[in-house]
Structure 1
Amino acid sequence: MSSDLTITDKQDGFTQNQIAALQQMGVQDASQGDLAVFFHEVQRTGLDPFARQIYMIGRRTKVDGQWVTKYTIQTGIDGFRLIARRAADRSHEAFGEPVTAWCGPDAVWREAWLDAKHPPLAAKVVVQRGQGTFTGVATLEEYQGTRKVKDQDGSWHAEPTSMWKSKPAIMLAKCAEALALRKAFPQDLSGLYGDDEIQESDPKEEQKPAQQDDQPVQAEVMASKEQQDQVAALMRQGGVSKVSQAETAFKALVGKPISLPEQMTHEEAAMLLEAPSLVVSRTRQALSQEAPDASR
């Protein structure tokens, strides 16, 4: 089956087996035009959709009074870095490590953000390509990801997603880096957006039809098998050996009550794997805090 999913240079579109696999990954409502655009981006970037390096996310929106699914092609920051590295290698240009800084209300840029109680208001990333430097600045107000919450009176309000609430400095830095990389490699990255750059629409502007319980729509890309295995291994290093411990660890790591790695989203897993030592230490800390309660 894996060979059936391999995309070759001779293809001019997805095969039926590849389309069937994509449909299982959440694009079953995509039109032939959507799939054609997606295939073009897959070939242009060299990223593998079946390894979750690049994917198409569907979101419901209202157009001329009708509810339709609109697709956005997205990748993680690792996909951006891979594309940039390949492009620099092809042109035999230097590609420097991104330099990141954050600032708060005082507008002073800092190399590390140490205020755990208050998120940074902006992040700046500088990327070097050849002899040029390219800067991306992302502000919290413009990029903070939100989710829709329905109040008791039936109205909607937006609040930060779990990842933006728990790791705002890292999330903001990833958005700034995507901006900088897109400036440095416009031919290779134009039209491609990172996971963390995409926000939900304003709750007042997007709601599902009444027959669908009036809940907001957002497709989620779940963690790949490789991501699941890596996170599970890190949690085992942190002392997790049973389901109850996994639930405690996941609540501390991603802020929601899950017990299995396959219940993580791609975004959550990618964020954890960017700081493996932190995953191990936070897991140990969460289990140690839980132990006294369990003994009572």
Structure 2
Amino acid sequence: MASEIVRYKADNGQDIEVTEQDVRDLMAANGNAMENVTSQEVKMFLRLCQSQRLNPFTRDAYIVKYGNQPASVIAGKDAFVKRATRNKRYRGHEAGITVLRRFKKNDGVQTVIDRREGSMMLPGEELVGGWAKVYLEGYECPIFEEVALKEYTAPDKYGKNGWSRMPATMIRKVALCHALREAFPEDLGGLYGAEEMDQARSEEPQPPRQQEDLRKPLWAEVANLKAHALALGTSEEGIVSWMAANITNPDGSPKSTRYYTAEEIIKLRDFLALNIANHEQPADAEPEYEDAEYAEPALADNDIKF
């Protein structure tokens, strides 16, 4: 992979040539740890840049990885705005913050919600969210999006990536990315900003504790079936590709095996059993299914090896 050169044209027509080593050098120069990022994750990053015409040298997109968690591909806010401005239907945008202002009135306290353009807060105000409007040719009303601050400042990550120092700036970015993606799904679908990916990563589904006892024997059964299937000629890549295509997170990305539920492990077990049955049936028999081709997935370092 290190010697493979990926070539394509960026959004602005610039010819891009990039290799895995280029990505590693570039990310390291920008302070992103790359020691635990696998070649497979870099390869997927390059393919995404190629398909979306993103320029990694100008930080249109970059890789972030925390510990042994799967790497995240993140698009910079400028990439969202640049892509939007190149769309012929784009007619500008507004973005700002939502704050609560409290003041005494008669014998009580009155609270007022204020949506302000920009990200400046005044003393005594409480930041509660961010908003954005994107204007499109042919639309009577702009695309409007508003997001709540509390969804992006959970205790386990508050203080990361600028949230503690400049929450108003950060939540405004989130709202703008949401609105631009909704306005231009064909150009920005599947791309997420750093702030959004932090929130999505913190919400990665966890296996229920009560299922742990069920999972262990199921994984043992799956391991035996996999060994049998491989012995009959099934490829490792085919099994992994099927898993990536059929057991996914809510956003459609491949789900790490460490988070498989018992039901999902059973689904994998049944697939392997059917695969074995098709291999063992007479050569002239009609197969129960046809193998499908899937895109090569990224494997996380912390995935369960079975």
The TM-score, its normalising length taken from structure 2, stands at: 0.49
Distance 1:177 1:46 in 2: 21
Partner residue, 1:111: 116
> Within 5 A, what are the aligned runs for 1:27-42?
27-42=34-49
Aligned residues: 179
Determine helix, strand or coil for the equivalent of 1:122.
strand
Q: CA deviation at 1:181?
A: 0.7
Structure 1 residues 57 and 104: alpha-carbon distance in aligned structure 2, compared to 1, 3 A threshold: same
Q: Say yes or no: does 1:93 pair with 2:89.
A: yes
Partner residue, 2:202: 201
In structure 2, which of residues 136, 143, 154 is the aligned counterpart of residue 129 of structure 1? 136
Partner residue, 1:18: 22
Distance 1:44 1:114 in 2: 39
Structure 1 residues 119 and 77: alpha-carbon distance in aligned structure 2, compared to 1, 3 A threshold: farther
Distance 1:77 1:51 in 2: 12
- Is 2:97–2:168's contact at 8 Å kept on the other side of the alignment? no
Per-residue Cα deviation, 1:61-118 (whole angstroms, up to 9, x for no partner) = xxxxxxx4301111221121112223x1xxx223313243523274623325543344
Letter in 2 for 1:53: D
Q: CA deviation at 1:35?
A: 2.3
**Larger-Rg structure:** 2
- Is 1:140–1:172's contact at 8 Å kept on the other side of the alignment? yes
Partner residue, 1:277: none
Per-residue Cα deviation, 1:131-178 (whole angstroms, up to 9, x for no partner) = 2321221111102376x5xxxxxxxxx644483233222211111111
Structure 1 residues 161 and 39: alpha-carbon distance in aligned structure 2, compared to 1, 3 A threshold: closer
Per-residue Cα deviation, 1:180-221 (whole angstroms, up to 9, x for no partner) = 01101112222221122224638xx8xxxxxxxxxxxxxxxx
Determine helix, strand or coil for the equivalent of 2:96.
strand
In structure 2, which of residues 46, 52, 63 is the aligned counterpart of residue 56 of structure 1? 63
Distance 1:78 1:16 in 2: 23
Letter in 2 for 1:96: G
Structure 1 residues 162 and 21: alpha-carbon distance in aligned structure 2, compared to 1, 3 A threshold: closer
How large is the RMSD of aligned CA atoms in angstroms? 3.6
Unaligned runs of 5+ in 2: 10-14, 102-110, 207-306
- Is 2:76–2:194's contact at 8 Å kept on the other side of the alignment? yes
Distance 1:174 1:182 in 2: 12
Structure 1 residues 159 and 111: alpha-carbon distance in aligned structure 2, compared to 1, 3 A threshold: closer
Partner residue, 1:82: 82
Q: CA deviation at 1:58?
A: 0.9
In structure 1, which of residues 87, 97, 102 is the aligned counterpart of residue 98 of structure 2? 102
Distance 1:159 1:77 in 2: 20
Determine helix, strand or coil for the equivalent of 2:113.
coil
Distance 1:118 1:184 in 2: 31
Q: CA deviation at 1:17?
A: 4.0
Partner residue, 1:191: 190
Partner residue, 1:270: none
- Is 2:91–2:136's contact at 8 Å kept on the other side of the alignment? yes
Structure 1 residues 94 and 162: alpha-carbon distance in aligned structure 2, compared to 1, 3 A threshold: closer
Structure 1 residues 19 and 118: alpha-carbon distance in aligned structure 2, compared to 1, 3 A threshold: same
Q: Say yes or no: does 1:141 pair with 2:150.
A: yes
Q: CA deviation at 1:6?
A: 9.3
Letter in 1 for 2:202: S
- Is 2:23–2:56's contact at 8 Å kept on the other side of the alignment? no
Distance 1:172 1:59 in 2: 22
Letter in 2 for 1:80: F
Determine helix, strand or coil for the equivalent of 2:65.
strand
Distance 1:170 1:5 in 2: 39
Overall identity of the aligned pairs, in %: 23
Distance 1:134 1:177 in 2: 10
Structure 1 residues 34 and 12: alpha-carbon distance in aligned structure 2, compared to 1, 3 A threshold: farther
Distance 2:168 2:178 in 1: 16
